[in-house]
Amino acid sequence: METLGETAAEAAAAAAAVEARAEAAEASAEAGKAQSLRLQADFDNFRKRADAEKAATADRVKGDVTTALLPLVDAFDAAAGAVKAETPGEERIKGAYQALATQLTEILGGLGVARVPGAGAPFDPAVHDAIAREPAADGVADGTVTVEFRAGFTVGGRLVRPAMVKVAYEEEATAEAVEPVGAGAAGAEEE
């Protein structure tokens, strides 16, 4: 017959085995929970990357379409400046051109296309391509765009084509900028 001590020892061993299995199951559950959290974070990061790539691809496509349509925009801009309506028939033609140009502008605007600020705006080398300059007239600040030769455009904030512009400059500022360093000091020593 078994003694009470032997039964207690067996019960303690069984309890220790059950406790060890419980600790192992708890550790396994914690590892599974940590793995599940990592997988969820990886999936969230993947989804964010996929959304960003999708938006970037859409912007590139819009940019490509816009670039293909820019010669048409340029033609409408040139026609608006060149057509001098003198008869009622010419007025109707000019109105039709303007209506088409407005419609094209609205369609491009719906795609997120925006014109770069032109004449009257401060020169910004990030969006303007200065191809000429002129002395600043009275009331025109140094570095102001005075003439826009060709419109510039952005799509979703990304530059598709810079504006070709003429920029005003102040003659005094230019003369000071090209004065050799130390020219004032050399003149002071000679006196």
Segments of 95-157 assigned E as strands? 113-115, 128-135, 145-150, 153-155
Residues across the chain: 191
pLDDT score recorded for residue 175: 47
Q: Find out whether 105 and 183 touch, Cβ atoms under 8 Å.
A: no
Which of 140, 119, 137 lies closest to 128, judged by CA?
A: 119
Domain range for 150: 114-180
**Assigned domain for 82 exists:** no
pLDDT score recorded for residue 146: 93
The number of folded domains in the chain is 1
pLDDT score recorded for residue 84: 81
**3-class secondary structure, 161:** strand
pTM, entire model:
0.61
**Assigned domain for 65 exists:** no
Q: Find out whether 177 and 164 touch, Cβ atoms under 8 Å.
A: no
**Assigned domain for 162 exists:** yes
The CATH number of whichever domain residue 129 belongs to comes to: 2.30.22.10
Q: Find out whether 145 and 117 touch, Cβ atoms under 8 Å.
A: yes
**Assigned domain for 172 exists:** yes
Q: Are strands 153-155 and 158-161 parallel, antiparallel or unpaired?
A: antiparallel
What pLDDT tens digit does each residue of the chain (191 aa) get? 567 667 878 888 888 888 889 899 899 999 999 999 999 999 999 999 999 999 888 888 888 888 898 898 888 888 877 778 788 888 888 888 889 889 988 998 888 889 999 999 999 999 999 999 899 888 888 899 999 999 999 988 889 999 999 999 887 654 444 444 444 444 444 43
Instruction: Count the neighbouring beta carbons within 10 Å of the beta carbon of residue 94.
Output: 15
CA distance 5 to 140: 106
**Assigned domain for 139 exists:** yes
pLDDT score recorded for residue 73: 87
Residue for token digits 């419980």? 22
Q: Find out whether 191 and 166 touch, Cβ atoms under 8 Å.
A: no
**Assigned domain for 143 exists:** yes
CA distance 83 to 94: 7
pLDDT score recorded for residue 78: 84
**Assigned domain for 68 exists:** no
**Assigned domain for 124 exists:** yes
What is the rounded end-to-end Cα distance, in angstroms, of the chain?
A: 126
